A and B are shown apart, each in its own frame.
Chain A
Amino acid sequence: MSSSDLKFAKSHEWAKLDGDVVTIGISKFAVNLLTDLVYIELPAVGDSVSSGVSIGEIESVKAVSDIYSSVTGEIVEINDSLEEDLGALTEDPYGKGWIVKIKIADPSELDQLMDQKAYDELCQSEAH
């Protein structure tokens, strides 16, 4: 999957729309910042989530960070293989490292998110 199909949130999650399901993961920039990953806490399938609200946590040797949903809807699938092995997040954050799939009601929510170019600029400014 090329990262050019993706939309990005300020809090470093990516989102990709496919029909009425949005796949969410965290960006390569965020994975690099977190360094060595230790644990992930995922939501349950069937959970209702809303945009901007935490749906889980990711812990690295440095810190614990929230994972935020960029959309409103219902969790339809979680990547529970990550609970055993977080390697996919580091090696393939935009593919095998996806985190959750959310069925959404309003696809226009994704319009609030950044495209790759705007996100790259944000990362550039955060890395100063």
Chain B
Amino acid sequence: MRNQQATQLIFELSVPGRRAAIYPKCDVPVDSVKELIPSGFLSEKPPALPEVTEPDVVRHYVNLSTLNMSVDTHFYPLGSCTMKYNPKRHERICNFPGLVDIHPYQKEENIQGILGILFEMQEMLAEIAGLPSVSLQPAAGAQGEFTALLTAAAYFRDHGQNRTKVIFPSSAHGTNPASAALAGFDCIQLKQTGNGLVDLEELKSHLNQETAVFMITNPNTLGMFEKDIATISKMLHDVGGLVYIDGANMNAIMGQTRPGDFGGDMMHYNVHKTFTGPHGAGGPGAGPIAVRDFLADYLPGPVITKTEDDDGNDYYQLTNPVKSIGRVRSFFGNVGILLRGYLYLRTLGAKGVKEASEQAVLNANYIKALLKDILPVPNGDLCMHEFVASAADVQKKNGISAMDIAKRLLDFGFHAPTVYFPLDVPEALMIEPTETESRETLDAFAESIKQILSEDSEYLHDAPYSTPVSRPDEVKAARKPVLKWTEPGK
């Protein structure tokens, strides 16, 4: 029988009476729990905690951790997620006592260090965006979108304009319409186009005095730069609307061009993606937004501003924008992630940031070139930092789906790419290598895909073979999820 210490639940390893530590008898008087807590608040029996030895606990969790696929263990080309390597130096510095042993309720003058760092972060994000005013508060990209849309709504309201429509292309991240709907706007989705880019004529047909915001990701989710972005921005501005740049794909353009320069009025960053941060499984994230000067008064507060103290030294203070929409998160956002992003930007510097995006684009084009004959990319000859290949042909010819390829890649020691997104591409495999991978890794990945495509489709339908769970029943998992352990017989 196979050792199941990692795959069994810790509850299933439990044997009554087992302990990790046995304490000596207490040699001072003890008050009974019953005397300390009124009986109405006492549970009738102790909670069913697992009873295990110390080696059981250690082996269970250490073995469990080895089943993880992470950037620290595997190449992780999960498209749209920018899973770049997170330097360990950041972790060490983030644990400095001066950064860890402080609290946001301390007096402003006692936390000048972190306020100074966050102020500089605001400045760097403004510079990379080409948009002067920044709020660090949003805790993730989607919250950044939502915050920016609330900011835009406050601006329109303040100017007596009733603008209700938010427009986005069919390749948009699902969060765009979700944020717009949550912020109270009506959503208009543009039709899918043959070349994967926004159709200016169609966009024009939707633009009028009701247009509030056009949300666009650039480069878009197909990994293509929306080359008409300046024209698009002008079209929006001509009807009094605003342009929102979803910054999910900033890794392709940081240091090369700036959203503010091609007409964007608002944008969010995904600091945890573009500027490193150990993300996955939902967080933690940081989604600061940058906006044009005329929107600054409406940003969430507080923001950090720099003045001088009586002796002429820099002094950082918290101020609330005059017409602020209020807080969207406590304090200054996810400071731990903002700090890692700050360290990344300070380590690379302006030149390094530019080189990183060049390398990210080069790596994506390299894999694309290696795979183009077996997994065609429907849109464009060149891509930005990622590309969307289609397994539609191999599915038709050999019965091998995008999901089969993704699952089998796990056996080869690679994290799967994003599959079935964007919806515009049938049997989509969205591959984003990032700049932190070597040519050898990229070669090995492409080689593995080639090998997978030569395998028998029936064999692939049951992959992966090397993981404790192979193919979960996804329908049952969604409809009847088992989210907690129940004591047998209960």
Which A residues fall within an 8 A CB radius of B? 36-39, 59, 61-63, 127-128
Contact = CB atoms under 8 A, between A and B. Distances in A.
Interface string B468-480: 0000001100110
Contact of A61 (B392, B421, B423, B475): B475
Interface residues of B, number: 9
B474 A61 contact: yes
Contact of B478 (A38, A63, A127): A38
Contact of A38 (B420, B421, B479): B479
B423 A39 contact: no
Contacts of A38: 474-475, 478-479
Contacts of A127: 392, 426
A62 B421 CA distance: 8
A39 B475 CA distance: 9
Contact of A128 (B392, B423, B478, B479): B392
A37 B426 CA distance: 17
A63 B479 contact: no
A1 B26 CA distance: 79
Contact of A39 (B392, B421, B426, B478): B478
A74 to B, nearest CB: 23
Contacts of A62: 420, 423
A63 B428 CA distance: 12
A34 to B, nearest CB: 10
A103 to B, nearest CB: 28
Interface in B445-490: 474-475, 478-479
A128 B392 CA distance: 9
Nearest to B393: A128
A36 B475 contact: yes
Contacts of B420: 62-63
B460 to A, nearest CB: 16
Nearest to A126: B426
**Those 6 A-B pairs whose CB atoms lie nearest each other, nearest first:** A61-B474, A38-B478, A62-B420, A36-B475, A63-B423, A38-B475
B475 A37 contact: yes
B328 to A, nearest CB: 26
Most chain A Cβ neighbours within 10 Å, of B420, B426, B475: B475
A39 B474 contact: no
21 contacts: A36-B474, A36-B475, A37-B475, A38-B474, A38-B475, A38-B478, A38-B479, A39-B478, A39-B479, A59-B478, A61-B474, A61-B475, A61-B478, A62-B420, A62-B423, A63-B420, A63-B421, A63-B423, A127-B392, A127-B426, A128-B392
A61 B403 CA distance: 11
A128 B426 CA distance: 10
Interface string B423-453: 1001000000000000000000000000000
Contacts of A59: 478
A127 B474 CA distance: 25
A118 B478 CA distance: 36
